[in-house]
Amino acid sequence: MIPKVTYGTDVTGLLKYLFGPGKAEEHVNPHLVAGYDDVALLAPKQRDGGGKWSLGELGARLKAPQIAAGERGVKQYMWQCSLSLPAQEGQLDDATWGRIAGRFVAEMGFTGDAERAGCRWVAVRHGVSANGNDHVHLVVTLATEDGAPVWLRQDKRRSQQVADLLEDEFGLGKWTPGRAGATKRPELSRPEVDRARRSGQASDRELLRRQVRAALAGADSEAAWVARMKGAGLLVAARTASEDPNQVVGYAVALRPAGVGKPTWYAGRSLDADLSLPQVRKRWPEAQRPSAEQWKAADSVESRLRSEDRMAVWRSSASCWRTSPAGWPGWLPARRSGQRWRGPAPSCSLGWRRPPNRRGVAR
């Protein structure tokens, strides 16, 4: 995924371009796929005849925080970022682009938090580019809802880091290796490369990276994250402080070996820089840290399933961010032999019940 950031001062002009025919008449069916509010409320209306759009109301909504900022506001207050995929990646649907857009603006820090109001933003999709690249445009007002200006620093570098993160989270191809400012990731060793080539599959390190990220996507606490990794069938080991054997300061994960082989362990930081325990804990800054005993005892429903059932559940868990426009699923559509798993939305933790037996009694 390739991000391209630009800045401007004319929100209405930008919207006219995005909803217009394009430089080479390549814009087809322009529409919103996500935004700071309900898309149905934000979406502009198309005028009768001619195919033109009434963009004044959407433009006014986006510009309102900048007006409230007044003289304090950022001069080039319109932040625009296109997120594009190479033609060989194919096309995504609107729902997936909507979730990617929401995650992108959140990771860029535009959605605010408990101490700071968020920015107004929309994501516009209007078909593939002239070169066949599927893409979406993010338009963000660099002023918060309460009129505070948003001053950026190294946002282009951060956009590359976020793109790198979301490629893993959404299973997209790595088409820009070595991008400047991207997450620092250890290179594969020669034996890892050789094993992956012989097996025709991704390396153990890559598989572990994906599953650890998938566990994070559905966890609302450190303990839940550990339980979800174990529920996926991963081996998880906590590293404790030398002065306090009950204080967890790091971790390692491994795939279960086939037969009597020994597992190969990877520290979290060796999977990716942002998967080290200190970085992961930034997701829950106020939470109490689980002890080593709690890490060892962490369990989930998935870990009590048979191996084939567990992997079916995990596949649905790994696609957690792809099942709901809001980023959390109500129903997780993992199926095996007609079964269906249901989980509560806030944590994506999966409840599971065996199907009825021949007498119609749940087992």
This prediction's pTM = 0.52
Cα 315 vs. chain centroid, distance in angstroms?
A: 16
pLDDT of residue 22: 67
Q: Which residue has the tokens 């997120």?
A: 83
Question: pLDDT category, 348, cuts 50, 70, 90?
Answer: very low
Nearest Cα neighbor of 80 from 151, 7, 130 is: 7
Q: What's the whole-number mean pLDDT along residues 126-147?
A: 84
Q: Look at strands 78-84 and 135-144 and give their pairing.
A: antiparallel
Residue 346 contacts residue 264 (beta carbons within 8 Å)? no
The pLDDT tens digits of the residues spanning 262-313 come to 888 998 888 887 888 988 998 888 888 999 999 998 875 444 444 455 455 4
Question: pLDDT category, 60, cuts 50, 70, 90?
Answer: confident
Question: pLDDT category, 236, cuts 50, 70, 90?
Answer: very high
Q: What's the whole-number mean pLDDT along residues 315-334?
A: 39
- What b/e readout covers 138-161, taking b as 16+ CB neighbours within 10 angstroms? bbbbbbbbebbbbebeebeebbbb
CA dihedral 182, 186, 190, 195 (to 10 degrees): -90
d(CA 209, CA 359): 43
